[in-house]
Structure 1
Amino acid sequence: MFLATAAPRYRIALAGAGPAGLAAALALARDGHEVHVYERHPGLAPVGAGLLIQPQGLEALESLGLREAFDAVSVPVDRLLGHSHRGWTLVDLDMARRPARGVSRAQLAGLLGHAAAEAGARLHFGEPVESLRAEGAGAWVNHGGAASRFDLCVIANGAASSLRTPAGLADAARPYAWGALWGQFTVPGWDGATTLLQRYHGTREMVGLLPTEMTPQGLRLSLFWSLRRDGYAAWRASDLGAWRRRLLDLWPEARPVFDQVQRHDDLALAVYRHSWPRRMARGPFAVMGDAAHAMSPQLGLGTTLALQDALALAHGLRSHGTLAAGLAAYSRDRLWPSRAYQTLSRLLTPCFQSTHGGWVRDAAFAFGRKVPGVQWAMQRSLTEPPPGTRTP
């Protein structure tokens, strides 16, 4: 429940209508701020693979009053199971006690966008934030050829944002050498409707299937296939039938999905980046979501962290008498958790996407599962937020 308070009201610009920007717009508008969201796309027509929302992200949606509506457009994910080409189990996390949920990016964007507009946020599509500058106690924001002054500009326009560096919040993001092909496919009667399934052949090949939505036609699955960015052109020029046969050799049970890939255009390339925030707020600027802490999707935490950022910013402004104090509190609350998860992501990613020999990884993960405490630590790193990341 959101109650009116005597806290100051601000005029706030948000760059980007992704999960971070829309969630922040919703929370801030409900608190009575004048909120404008500027998005370069002509509407809520999101691109990207399915999303995994971890339990702490579900808590954030509960705080936003959207949990019931979100559950209606998503599916539970209560297990993460990964096997190597040798048949070894490398990852098996039982999340039944605190399940995550899979969702399509379109469904989440529609839910957040509709709620933000209902709360009074103004959504400006086809109107990107092109540049910004601090002046006095506020910020001038150039958007779609116009310029407007705001008390605060929140940078939430994704991993490729060009705004965070001039705002003094982070250096430019560095692209990973590896990305992934992705696509959405519907399969009736899929075995493993609540499990995120993965198959690995060394560290060079990885394929996964994430449940995202139950439709009348069957379960909607998000397929992803690990691929180096510099190999994308060669893949586009390759024999697709031979590629499908390679996938079937690795995972024959997934034929109902793989057989639906009939053209190279059925899959898109997702490029991943890493950014390291110096701070989460400075002067009249704040940063959140992938613009602040872009990372590999191996942990499945990007959207969850974005939702937590949004609530933490609203909480900081609500709980302090000045904008500077509220932003300082937000930066303190979110900087350490962001860096902690980014460090974990950087350590884990080469275990699944690299050119190193995979047998060492396979042996370490297969054996590590049997070491007391390792399984618990792996599960806790994903489903139990560290101190400072609880939903306000």
Structure 2
Amino acid sequence: MPLRIGIAGAGPAGLATALALAGEGHQVEVFEKHPAIAPLGAGLLIQPQGLHALGALGVRPAFDAASVPIHRLLGTSHRGWRVVDINYRDIPARAVGRAALSRVLHAAAHAAGVRFALGCPVESLAAVGTRARATTPHGASDFDLFAIADGAASGLRETVGLAGPSRAYRWGALWGQFWVPDWQAADMLLQRFRGTSEMMGLLPTERSGDAVRLSFFWSLPVEHHAAWRDSDLDAWKAHVLSLWPQAQAVLAQITKHDDLALAVYRHTWPRSMGQGPLCIVGDAAHAMSPQLGLGTTLAMQDALALADAVRRHGAAGAVAAYAARRLRPSQAYQTLSRALTPCFQARGGGLWRDLAFALGQRMPGVPWLMKRSLAAPVGAGVGPFN
């Protein structure tokens, strides 16, 4: 029997969840506080298990057309040492712009019959008996199940007792997207590090002829953003180029501070992934530093796990089954993320990090473990933590 299911948030997690549940024949309504689905943000790296999830959602051909393959993640320090080196050639990852991913998921969800209430935030949410009651500016509606997918800054997850307040990371990132002709690393995510206080990345997300659209990011303490906006832009660009001279084609396109936006990241530790008729998915459940590049991949897997739980257990047992399946992997990756963040976003020369990671690249089994932690074989769950 089809269930009536509500979702708060039309980001990747909300759209994927809506698509997965509508594909099972349920009546799904998504509430989005913004008047249009027009996400902002830099490029995303989708790990191989995320691609498998997109295939299960039925959008893999459309996604492949909107994304580009990534065959290697290579991060080097200012000393010229390899810090991170993951080869994806046997199981490629793919990169995509956030807006392009949203268009793919939204089109598929719309075609599957999902209803969208745009410009309609969920103001409160509560369990009323065995059902969920969502209150919006237009009134209250009851659902058999309700998924909170309104992102890392969600307030709903706290009001229903599924998580405590999220904590903003001290470090954020300047980001922008730029077309570059004849880019030589069109299938690689490249990163550069100067100590643990400076980090830069270039991720291809789109191709047009010989040109590649690169998603650029530069790590920056959030408290320093105002000072950066007041600084001499040419001097900052010269400093960036001293770390990565080959990025001149990107830096030349940054002519004013407004060409780069600031991304702020948050950490959330869920008490539970669900209770009663209410559950949380995506960054609302397990926001973390982008260091692992797993946020969107985990969101896709949350969506499929919830749909599978509904199919197996119905409205009465779905949330409990989903929560039991997803809580442990989510917490494990959050723990790993918190452990690795000081290696890349802190104040220090980074010699210990460079030595440890460079030596690790030469130790038997370590590169395999690093790759498996991020890009688990399809069918193996979420890395070694599932």
TM-score range, shorter chain: over 0.9
In structure 2, distance between residues paired with 1:206 and 1:379: 21
Match of 1:324 among 316, 326, 349: 316
Which position in structure 1 is the counterpart of 2:157?
A: 164
TM-aligned CA deviation for residue 123 of structure 1: 1.0
Which residue is equivalent to 1:293? Answer: 286
The answer to which of 199-208 and 126-135 deviates more is 126-135
The verdict on how the C-alpha distance between 1:86 and 1:389 changes in structure 2, with shifts beyond 3 A counting, is closer
Question: How far 1:383 sits from its partner (Å)?
Answer: 0.5
Q: How does 1:263-282 map to 2 (within 5 A)?
A: 263-282=256-275
Q: Which of 157, 177, 181 does residue 174 from structure 2 map onto? A: 181
- Partner of 1:241, secondary structure, is helix
Runs (5+) with no aligned partner, structure 1: 1-7
- Counterparts in 2 of 1:387 and 1:73: CA distance versus 1, 3 Å: closer
Counterpart selection for 2:345 from 353, 376, 391: 353
Match of 1:90 in 2: 83
Q: Which runs of 5+ in 2 are unaligned?
A: none
Match of 1:5 in 2: none
Call closer, same or farther: CA 1:352–1:61 in 2, change over 3 Å.
same
1:135 Cα deviation (Å)?
A: 1.1
Residues 195-244 of structure 1 show CA distances to partners (whole Å, capped at 9, x for unaligned) of 00000000000000011111247111100000001001001111111111
Alignment map for 1:80-229 (pairs within 5 Å): 80-216=73-209, 218-229=211-222
- CA distance, structure 2, for counterparts of residue 38 and residue 60 of structure 1: 23
Contact 2:182 2:210 in 1 (8 A): no
**8 Å contact from structure 2 (residues 196, 347) kept in 1:** yes
Please give the TM-score of this superposition, normalised by the length of structure 2: 0.97
- For the 8 Å contact 1:334–1:389, the answer to whether it is kept is no
- In the alignment, does 2:375 pair up with 1:374? no
2:242 pairs, out of 245, 249, 256, with 249
Q: TM-score, normalised by structure 1?
A: 0.95
Shift of the alpha carbon at 1:295? 0.3
CA contact (8 A) 2:18 2:28 kept: yes
1:253 positional shift: 0.6
What residue in structure 1 maps to residue 336 of structure 2? 344
| Structure 1 residue 388 displacement after superposition | 4.5
2:356 is the alignment partner of 1:364 = yes
Measured in 2, the distance between the counterparts of 1:214 and 1:157 equals 30
3-state DSSP class of the match of 1:140? strand
2:173, 2:138 → 1: CA distance?
A: 35
Contact 2:194 2:349 in 1 (8 A): no
Give the structure 2 partner of residue 4 of structure 1: none
Matches within 5 A, 1:33-52: 33-52=26-45
Distance in 2 separating the partners of 1:57 and 1:192: 23
* Cα deviation 1:80-127 (Å, max 9, x = unaligned): 101111111111111111111000011100010011011010011111
**Aligned positions of 1:373-392 closer than 5 A:** 373-384=365-376, 388-389=381-382
Partners of 2:46 and 2:293 within 8 A in 1: yes
Q: For 1:164, what is the secondary structure of its paired residue?
A: helix
Q: Verify the 8 A CA contact 1:333 1:388 in the aligned structure 2.
A: no
**Secondary structure in 2 aligned to 1:132?**
strand
C-alpha distance 388-78 of structure 1, shift in aligned 2 (>3 A)? closer
